[in-house]
Amino acid sequence: MNPWVLYALSGVTVFSVGLVGLFSHEHPVKRILASNIMGSGVLLVLVSLARREPTGTPDPVPHALVLTGIVVSVSSTALGVALARRIARLDETAEEGRAGSDAEAGGGAG
Amino acid sequence: MNPTAWMAWPVVLPLAGAVLALLVGRKGVRVVAGLASVATFAASVMLTWEVATRGVLRQSIGGWGPPLGIEWRADGLAVLMLLTIGVVGPLISVHALDHLGDREDREFLPLWLFVWCALNALVLSADAFNLYVTLELMTLASVALIAVRRDRAGLDAGLRYLLFALPGSLLYLLGVALLYGVYSALDLGLLGQRITPGPVAWVAAALMTLGLCLKTPLFPLHVWLPPTYTGAPTPVTALLSALVSKGSYYVLLRLWLEVFTPILDWQVGQLLGVLGAAAVLWGSLLALSQSQLKRVVAYSSVAQIGYMFLFFPMATVGARTGAVYLVVSHAAAKASMFVAVGNIHQAVGITELGGVQGLAYRMPFTFLAMALGGISLIGMPPSGGFIAKWILLEESIWTGQWWWGLVLLLGGLLASAYVFRILRGSFLPLPPGVKVRSIPLGNELAPLALALIALVLGLVPWFPLELLAVGTAR
């Protein structure tokens, strides 16, 4: 077995781990991380493909694809995290609001 | 001007408009976005004219041709999509201006221009990796659009959409990586020449199809669609259903038409057809059983997407024409229905199906639009939906697969049931005590214009059909 096939297979394994993680977790941050792991798996496959030329010269196209892939992955992660953060903050203010009204209803018993 | 130079404008103009619209203040955003929309539409029309008179146009980005560089290609299918986006999108945006608040309006317009730019780039791409990048651009801009109100429902819907779209595009990318690994090509034309039936081609085709079906979405991967469509603001839902979901379907169609043709076996076609048929029946039944107006229209999208997958078992030029015609007429008809739902929500603030009672008398244009859009969804003549289903029905008989025709007819019956359920309520007397707010005339006319397009597509089908034939290899 060529070493690049081994690398590509491990890339596919990483991808599968991410895919399972994405659909088995509820927490948004865990799911975003899982999708990141999936992305890394795909990029690993691409990187391993670039080394397979028989002459030993690496193929530049997969490198360009990996760089673009990293940019896309960073952007989508940032967007996901921004959304998750805003949802968490909305929940926090909602909880504080509820706690505040509870304290008022209690008539300052504490 | 060099004819291929027209190809860059439908992508450059909305991009420039979006950036400018972000930079100018609150006052200028409508002017900038309006000018950018007119310019983009004009560029799309010019490109269509060039393609209609000269045939297929190609452009190598940066002067690097395939196999190293990226090629863009404008054929009849691509320019028909450009025109659809250029007509349906701005009409939805006109409605969005009054539907959303002032702050949202300032953010909606640049984001919509980004989506427009991504969609135009997507339909012109003829390179598997470029298609991935444009798909992601479209997804990211759409997520931002879904969350434009920054309320809990919208944020949840945006995050859910992102987390389903990401694995979809990564599955697609893994397929691209496999294809590149074996055939050393990304250009769709080159891939189509080099591909041979074998395990790698099958796995790549399966991964890419699965990813794109997740994004489109095809039954049974549609679970994210109803909550996302319900959580997003109504004009955004209209954009998602009418245009964004068609982006990934377009990639799927291109792949199977140009790359995977040698491996589109009878069994593969039947499998995709069965999933499509299940989507038609199950989606229609769910639409029929919903009590919320917006959910009826959302589940109807699941069903209508199902029809588009009936292309695969037939796999003829005629079936392709029917599927694309359905894409175009569904874009107009479904956008009109979602925008009409937005109007109803704005007028009475009720989303329950019972809330439409008596509204046909107060909002005649909205309900006329709903009825005309419904006619196209059902597939009654004269409408674009009728022409599309007629072509598909004919093909199902020609290819000796009558059972798909049965699905088409049954789906039409179910569609008429859920459309009439909405319309029936609207003609009952207005219950006392209901306050109907008046809505701007522009908002009433936008869905009507969209519905009329769906109608005209049925009355004058020759122009789009001839355009679609430009560059059809088979």
Q: What is the pLDDT of residues B187-226, one digit of tens each?
A: 998 999 999 888 889 999 999 999 999 999 998 888 899 8
pLDDT, position A17: 95
| Partner-chain contact B159 A19, CB within 8 Å | no
pLDDT, position B103: 67
Spatial CA neighbour of B367 closest among B298, B317, B439, B304: B439
pLDDT, position B1: 58
pLDDT, position A32: 94
Q: Does A9 touch chain B (CB under 8 A)?
A: no
Nearest CA in chain B to A30: B163
- What's the whole-number mean pLDDT along residues B369-373? 93
- What's the whole-number mean pLDDT along residues B263-270? 86
Phi, psi of B351 (to 5 degrees): -110, -5
- What's the whole-number mean pLDDT along residues B251-267? 88
pLDDT, position B377: 93
For B56-89, the pLDDT digits (tens) are: 888 888 777 777 788 899 999 999 999 999 999 9
| Partner-chain contact A38 B167, CB within 8 Å | yes
- What's the whole-number mean pLDDT along residues B351-367? 84
pLDDT, position B95: 83
Instruction: State the angle between helix axes of B293-308 and B384-398 in degrees (0 to 180), rounded to the nearest 10.
Output: 40
Its ipTM equals 0.88
pLDDT confidence of B13, banded at 50, 70, 90?
Answer: very high
| Partner-chain contact B166 A87, CB within 8 Å | no
Q: Return the percent helix, strand and coil in chain B, to nearest 5.
A: 80, 5, 20
Q: Name which of B166, B173, B186 is nearest A76 (Cβ-Cβ).
A: B166
Q: Is the pLDDT of residue B154 over 60?
A: yes
pLDDT, position A110: 36
pLDDT, position B474: 41
pLDDT confidence of B316, banded at 50, 70, 90?
Answer: confident
Cβ-Cβ contacts under 8 Å, B170 against chain A:
15, 35, 38-39, 42
Q: Which of B173, B182, B186, B203 is the best mutation test for A, with the most CBs of A within 10 A?
A: B173
Distance from CA of A96 to the nearest CA of B (A): 16
**Cβ neighbours for B311, distance < 8 A, ≥ 6 positions apart:** B253, B319, B320, B322, B323, B392
Whole-number Å distance between alpha carbons of B269 and B330? 23
The structure's pTM equals 0.93
Distance from CA of A109 to the nearest CA of B (A): 33
Q: Which of B129, B143, B152, B170 is the best mutation test for A, with the most CBs of A within 10 A?
A: B170
| Partner-chain contact A76 B136, CB within 8 Å | yes
The rounded radius of gyration (Å) of the Cα atoms in chain B is: 21
pLDDT, position B473: 53
| Partner-chain contact A28 B163, CB within 8 Å | yes
- What's the whole-number mean pLDDT along residues B100-111? 78
| Partner-chain contact B180 A49, CB within 8 Å | yes
pLDDT, position A53: 60
Q: Is the pLDDT of residue B269 over 50?
A: yes
pLDDT confidence of B433, banded at 50, 70, 90?
Answer: confident
- What's the whole-number mean pLDDT along residues B285-298? 91
Q: Is the pLDDT of residue B31 over 80?
A: yes
pLDDT confidence of A108, banded at 50, 70, 90?
Answer: very low
Q: Which of A9, A52, A76 is the best mutation test for B, with the most CBs of B within 10 A?
A: A76
Q: Is the pLDDT of residue A27 over 80?
A: yes
Q: Which is more confident, B372 or B439?
A: B372
Amino acid at B134: T
CA angle B73, B76, B79 (to 5 degrees): 70
Structure token digits, residue B345: 């929500």
Which alpha helices (H) appear in B100-186, and where do they start and end? 102-124, 128-146, 152-183
| Partner-chain contact B174 A42, CB within 8 Å | yes
pLDDT, position B3: 65
Spatial CA neighbour of B134 closest among B176, B183, B193: B176
Percent of chain B with pLDDT over 90: 58
Q: Which is more confident, B98 or B168?
A: B168
pLDDT, position A51: 63
- What's the whole-number mean pLDDT along residues B338-362? 84
pLDDT, position A104: 55
